[in-house]
């Protein structure tokens, strides 16, 4: 009776004895050329390459490498003002970085491509492996090799108990030790330690779930930035954000109606030594409501201690000063009165700059460019003012005045931190520069109006992040850690016990063990428990194979090669 293997052997023999093409008879047709693998074959080859563990590791490395610019360069989603400052300081290289989306790395198309390929690679690699592992767990333990003495761990002895009693005792002992046991003929096969491979799969599946959770968070979540000044309230509405980045599937109508009020922002600085002026602590005292009907609560917002409100997390990311001004026009009417957030020119002393725009002033609109020195002192040469400390110990503001058309009525967008049309539609006021302390008023020349420096407040920049995938991602991360721990702590182990009749009516017992990795002491404990007190002092049986050769180097390989037995080992994973 021929089988498939015999057919393949016959085909190989026929191919090997076929005459070369040049020596074939004239009537014979030449063999056809081998055809290409075709589009389907190329797709299958590409899928196999993509779903290998090597490709997954390469993609994982590329994700980590791609995240480096997001950690080094400022990102628009977290600190747009720092991105603007980077453009001002690096006018040549910043536009090139922007073309490569390095200021918005985690929303860049190239990062999304790597991310999706990594997800597909892991899914194609891990899911089939999990199915195979599940089937392997439910399969019978491999049958015992014919010569157990060639295994890495082996022991043999003689006993007065019958083979049936030895095998029954072996089954009970191995089941007690949580082995999966299968008995066939004169041997008992057992196996355990699948938890190690299960942990390895749990780790990879958790990593896959983590990538999926992060993707779902980016799809259905949103993030935004808002600047809140002391005494102001922010309501979670799209129009109140300074910058807002929604997920592709996010509906702005689903935004939670929470609100935040900033009562006080405080910062602590080193007052002496080499680190004088360095910030040591930031704290924003907030009042918030999860909804208009919910009770008001208080929270001290600090760095790395976000506030949770309305399903979103609020982070403290920046701060600065917001001087308060009152501007009156030529008629003496109040044209502007508010606190204006100033941008820090440098963070060592927090010297800041800002603009004040009064479009309602009459008969001409008024605008001011101002510089704030939190702790004003004279420079070393006494010719200019500098700030000696970042805290507001002696705040002073210098203002430069302008009048004309600010350009707000044209409909073109303008930056709140910049004056447009200077020297064209907006003209400097001659003699319109003045140094002001809190409470002082500067009357503009020519009766154009006046400006009063009312006082100084602080502002804080908040990053609001709504991520529905945050909890699933946390659970996946925990499972990944547990899976890694299990994969390192548990190893696959197999134990076989064979009992057969020996000389003199005694029973010869052979015990063999195979452990993935280094051998364990558990095998010795099993042998000791099987032998028991009655056989502990008796000499072991001769440990030789059928040809009389003792077990030596390569014993495990020779044991696996014995014909007619089950496999003692499995392919490497």
Cα-based distances in Å from 412 to 137, 356, 421 = 69, 18, 12
Residue 344 DSSP class? E
Closest-CA residue to 189 (of 506, 572, 566):
566
Torsion of CA 72, 77, 78, 80, to 10 degrees: 90
CB-CB contact of 79 with 317 (8 Å): yes
Q: How many domains does the chain have?
A: 4
Cα 321 from Cα 438, distance rounded (Å) = 14
Q: Are residues 256 and 379 in the same domain?
A: no
Q: Is residue 212 part of a domain?
A: no
Q: Can you say how many angstroms the Cα of residue 388 is from the centroid of all Cα atoms in its chain?
A: 41
Q: Is residue 561 part of a domain?
A: yes
pLDDT computed for residue 324 by the predictor: 96
Q: Are residues 276 and 360 in the same domain?
A: no
Q: What is the CATH number of the domain that holds 520?
A: 3.30.310.80
Residues of the chain with pLDDT under 70: 1-36, 77-78, 411, 533-573
Cα-based distances in Å from 162 to 428, 498, 508, 538 = 113, 12, 9, 16
Closest-CA residue to 330 (of 369, 367, 359, 361):
361
Q: Are residues 31 and 132 in the same domain?
A: yes
Residues found in the chain: 573
Q: Are residues 280 and 178 in the same domain?
A: no
pLDDT computed for residue 29 by the predictor: 53
Q: Are residues 162 and 234 in the same domain?
A: no
Q: Is residue 5 part of a domain?
A: no
Q: Is residue 332 part of a domain?
A: yes
Would you call the peptide bond into 363 cis, given omega within 30 degrees of 0 as the criterion? Answer: yes
Q: Rg for the chain (alpha carbons), in Å?
A: 40
pLDDT computed for residue 211 by the predictor: 83
Q: Is residue 26 part of a domain?
A: yes
Q: Is residue 213 part of a domain?
A: no
Q: Are residues 150 and 225 in the same domain?
A: no
Cα-based distances in Å from 282 to 269, 305, 380, 395 = 9, 11, 31, 20
Q: Is the pTM of this model over 0.75?
A: no
Q: Are residues 101 and 60 in the same domain?
A: yes
CB-CB contact of 321 with 457 (8 Å): yes
Cα 224 from Cα 235, distance rounded (Å) = 13
pLDDT computed for residue 367 by the predictor: 95
pLDDT (tens digit per residue) in 484-537: 998 888 888 899 999 988 887 888 999 999 888 777 788 989 999 988 765 555
- Which positions ≥6 away from 350 have C-beta within 8 Å? 320, 321, 344, 374, 387, 390
pLDDT computed for residue 534 by the predictor: 54
* 550 Rama sector, left if φ>0, alpha if ψ -120 to 50, beta otherwise: beta
β-strand pairing of 450-466 with 187-192: unpaired
Closest-CA residue to 204 (of 16, 72, 51, 336):
51
31 burial type by CB count under 10 A (0-12 exposed, 13-18 middle, 19+ buried): exposed
Q: Are residues 510 and 447 in the same domain?
A: no
CB-CB contact of 406 with 378 (8 Å): no
Q: Is residue 20 part of a domain?
A: yes
Q: Are residues 419 and 299 in the same domain?
A: no
Closest-CA residue to 367 (of 426, 415, 416, 321):
426
Q: Is residue 66 part of a domain?
A: yes
Closest-CA residue to 304 (of 458, 457, 459, 463):
463
Q: Are residues 17 and 129 in the same domain?
A: yes
Q: Are residues 356 and 306 in the same domain?
A: no
Domain finish residue from 446, 478, 510: 478
- Domain that includes residue 114, residue range: 13-136
Q: Are residues 127 and 101 in the same domain?
A: yes
pLDDT computed for residue 327 by the predictor: 96
């Amino acid at each position: 009776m021929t089988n498939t293997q015999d057919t393949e052997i016959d085909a190989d023999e026929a191919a090997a004895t076929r005459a070369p093409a040049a020596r074939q008879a004239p009537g014979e047709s030449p063999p056809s050329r081998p055809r290409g693998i075709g589009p389907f074959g190329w797709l299958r080859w590409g899928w196999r390459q993509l779903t290998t563990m090597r490709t997954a590791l390469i993609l994982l490395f590329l994700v980590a490498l791609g995240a480096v610019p997001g950690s080094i360069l400022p990102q628009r989603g977290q600190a747009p003002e720092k991105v603007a400052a980077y453009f001002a300081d690096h006018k040549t290289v910043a536009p090139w970085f922007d073309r490569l989306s390095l200021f918005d790395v985690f929303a860049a198309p190239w990062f999304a491509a790597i991310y999706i390929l990594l997800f597909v690679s892991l899914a194609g690699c891990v899911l089939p492996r999990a199915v195979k592992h599940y089937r392997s767990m439910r399969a019978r333990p491999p049958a015992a090799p014919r010569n157990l003495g060639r295994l890495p761990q082996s022991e043999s002895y003689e006993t007065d108990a019958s083979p049936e009693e030895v095998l029954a005792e072996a089954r009970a002992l191995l089941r007690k030790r949580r082995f999966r046991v299968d008995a066939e003929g004169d041997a008992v096969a057992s196996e355990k330690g699948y938890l190690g491979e299960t942990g390895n799969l749990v780790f990879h599946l958790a990593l896959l779930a983590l990538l999926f959770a992060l993707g779902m968070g980016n799809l259905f979540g949103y993030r935004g930035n808002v600047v809140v000044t002391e005494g102001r309230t922010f309501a979670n509405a799209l129009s109140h954000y300074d910058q807002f980045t929604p997920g592709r599937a996010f509906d702005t109508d689903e935004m939670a109606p929470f609100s935040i009020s900033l009562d006080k922002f405080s910062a602590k600085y080193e007052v002496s030594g080499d680190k004088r002026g360095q910030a040591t602590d930031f704290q924003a005292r907030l009042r918030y409501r999860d909804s208009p009907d919910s009770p008001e609560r208080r929270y001290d917002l600090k760095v790395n201690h976000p506030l949770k409100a309305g399903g979103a997390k609020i982070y403290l990311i920046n701060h600065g000063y917001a001087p308060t001004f009152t501007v009156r026009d030529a008629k003496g009417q109040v044209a502007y009165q508010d606190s204006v957030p100033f941008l820090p020119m440098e963070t060592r002393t927090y010297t800041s700059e800002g603009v004040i725009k009064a479009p309602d002033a009459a008969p001409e609109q008024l605008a001011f460019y101002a510089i704030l020195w939190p702790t004003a002192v004279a420079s070393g040469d006494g010719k200019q003012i500098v700030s000696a400390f970042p805290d507001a110990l002696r705040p002073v503001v210098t203002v430069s005045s302008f009048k004309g058309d600010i350009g707000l009525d044209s409909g073109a967008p303008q930056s709140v931190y910049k004056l447009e049309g200077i020297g064209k539609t907006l003209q400097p006021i001659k003699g319109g520069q003045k140094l002001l302390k809190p409470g002082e008023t500067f009357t503009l020349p020519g009766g154009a109006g006046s400006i009063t420096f009312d006082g100084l407040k602080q502002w804080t920049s908040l990053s609001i992040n709504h991520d529905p995938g945050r909890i699933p991602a946390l659970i996946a991360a925990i499972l990944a850690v547990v899976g890694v721990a299990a994969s390192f702590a548990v190893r696959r182990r197999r134990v076989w016990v064979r009992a057969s009749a020996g000389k003199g009516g005694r029973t010869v017992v052979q015990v063999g063990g195979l452990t993935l990795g280094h051998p364990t002491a558990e095998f010795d404990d099993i042998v000791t428990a099987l032998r028991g007190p009655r056989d502990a002092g008796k000499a072991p049986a001769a440990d030789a194979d059928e040809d009389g050769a003792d077990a030596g180097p390569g014993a495990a390989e020779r044991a696996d090669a014995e014909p007619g037995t089950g496999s003692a080992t499995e392919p490497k994973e």
